[in-house]
Amino acid sequence: MKTSFEPAAADPAEGVTRGVTPGGDPLARRSFLAPLRRIPNGVFAWALILPAMVILLGFSVVPMITTVWASLQEPGIGTSIGPANYERMVNDPVFLQSLRNNLLFSLVTVPVSLAIAMLMAVLVDREIRARGFLRMALFTPAMLPVIAAAAIFLAFYQPNFGLINVIAQSIGVPRQNWLGNPDTVLPSLMVVMIWKEAGFFMLFYLAGLQTISPELNEASTLEGTGRWTHFRRVTFPLLMPTTLFTSIVGVANSFKQVDFIFVMTQGGPNNASNLLLYNIYLQAFPNRNPDYAAAMTVVLVSILVALAVIQIRMFDRRIHYR
């Protein structure tokens, strides 16, 4: 029975050498938590993770299973099971367009915001005047509500009084209805996303830069290596783990973040700015088509889980090489 009183199961010899007995330990007797010490480690650990696991499983694993189940329901009255929702999906031009839009959206916004974020981080990492202000200015958009950021840009993109048209006209570009034109609406949303995300990723790159040994910097200075060469040969490769991490987070965000569509375009014109999760929302709630929405959710979750698997592999490798 003695092992159940050991604080750490990892080293059974340790408790023996100390000869701790629950009754003989004065501190244990004084603490109101003393009865807890009789609980074996395994049970204790499970009690600690249980509340978090109930929430995590309850609101992601369980709904994931019920989503798959819902997606297999055949339309109409009765309880038949079949791939009807999936057949409908592959022939649904709106779904296909939202998927295509989303892939394009991710493909552009993630690399661009990561590149800008890395540039920002390198620029504000060094000791310069007003560094605090500069960091804050770059980071502030990242903590704004997306719908507020969307409202700001909605005003800027206005065809009549919008700031962007005023600037465009002054440099000789004709006025545009940026959000009303199917060709310009998605790029216009990409700009908002990049503006929002770059400052957030900058923080991760700043954290990554702290781990690079300052001696490498000094060595480059002594060797007379140019800034660009130093960045290309030293900083960039050493930031690679950060880049892997932020790119996964960035891709996930580009699939999860659709708030600005509600404010700016409602998916229009002509579904040109419809993204996957927004389309799922439309089908699930305003269109009252939850089973069809569930089938599309399965596609979205598959994309995200594939990303998660890549991420786990990536962390495994980092741990092995350490």
Partner 1 sequence: MTTEDAVTAESTTADLFVSSVRARRIVRAERFANATELVGVWLLALLWIAPLAYVFWAAFRRTEVALTFQPFTGWTFDNIITVWSMAPFGRFYYNTVVLVVGLSAGQIILGCLAAYAFTRYRFPLHNIMFTLVLLQLMIFPEVLLGENFRLVARLGLADTLRGIGLPYLASAFFIFLLRQTFKSVPIELVEAAEVEGAGRLEILWKVYIPIARPTLIAFGLVSISFHWNNFLWPLVITQSVEARPITVGIYRFLSPEIGINFTALTAGTVITVLPLLALFIVAQRAFIQNFLRAGIK
| Residues 166 to 205 in contact with partner 1, rule: CB under 8 A | 195, 198-199, 203-204
Among 33, 77, 81, 171, binds partner 1 (CB under 8 A): 33
219 binds partner 1 (CB under 8 A): no
Q: Which of residues 49-68 bind partner 1 (CB under 8 A)?
A: 49, 51-64, 66-67
Residue 172 Cβ vs partner 1, minimum distance, rounded to whole Å? 21
d(CA 224, CA 29): 66
Cis geometry, peptide bond prior to residue 269 (ω within 30 degrees of 0): yes
236 binds partner 1 (CB under 8 A): no
Residue 135 Cβ vs partner 1, minimum distance, rounded to whole Å? 6
When the beta carbons of 133 and 236 are compared against partner 1, the nearer one is: 133
**Token pair of 274 as six digits:** 């419809």
What's the gap between Cα 15 and its chain centre? 44
d(CA 45, CA 125): 41
44 binds partner 1 (CB under 8 A): yes
252 binds partner 1 (CB under 8 A): yes
Q: Map residues 106-135 to x or -, x wherever contact with partner 1 holds by CB under 8 A.
A: ----------x--xx--xx---x---xxxx
CA distances from 301 to 65, 277, 296 (A): 11, 10, 9
Of the listed pieces 42-50, 74-82, 98-106, 170-178, which binds partner 1 according to CB under 8 A?
Answer: 42-50
- β-pair partners for 81: 73
Q: Which of 190, 181, 28, 58 is nearest to 113 (CA)?
A: 190
DSSP state letters, 228-296: HHHIIIIIHHHTHHHHHHHHHHHHHHHHH--HHHHHHTTT-STTTT--HHHHHHHHHTTT--HHHHHHH
Among 137, 167, 173, 219, binds partner 1 (CB under 8 A): 137
Q: Which of residues 68-107 bind partner 1 (CB under 8 A)?
A: 70
Residue 112: how many other CB atoms lie within 10 Å: 17
φ, ψ of residue 263 to 5 degrees: the values are -85, -40
42 binds partner 1 (CB under 8 A): yes
237 binds partner 1 (CB under 8 A): no
321 binds partner 1 (CB under 8 A): no
**Token pair of 75 as six digits:** 């339309």
# residues contacting partner 1 (CB under 8 A): 115
Residue 296: how many other CB atoms lie within 10 Å: 26
Q: Which of residues 269-308 bind partner 1 (CB under 8 A)?
A: 277, 280-281, 284-285, 290, 293-294, 297, 300-301, 304-305, 307-308
Q: Map residues 9-28 to x or -, x wherever contact with partner 1 holds by CB under 8 A.
A: xx---x---x-x----xxxx
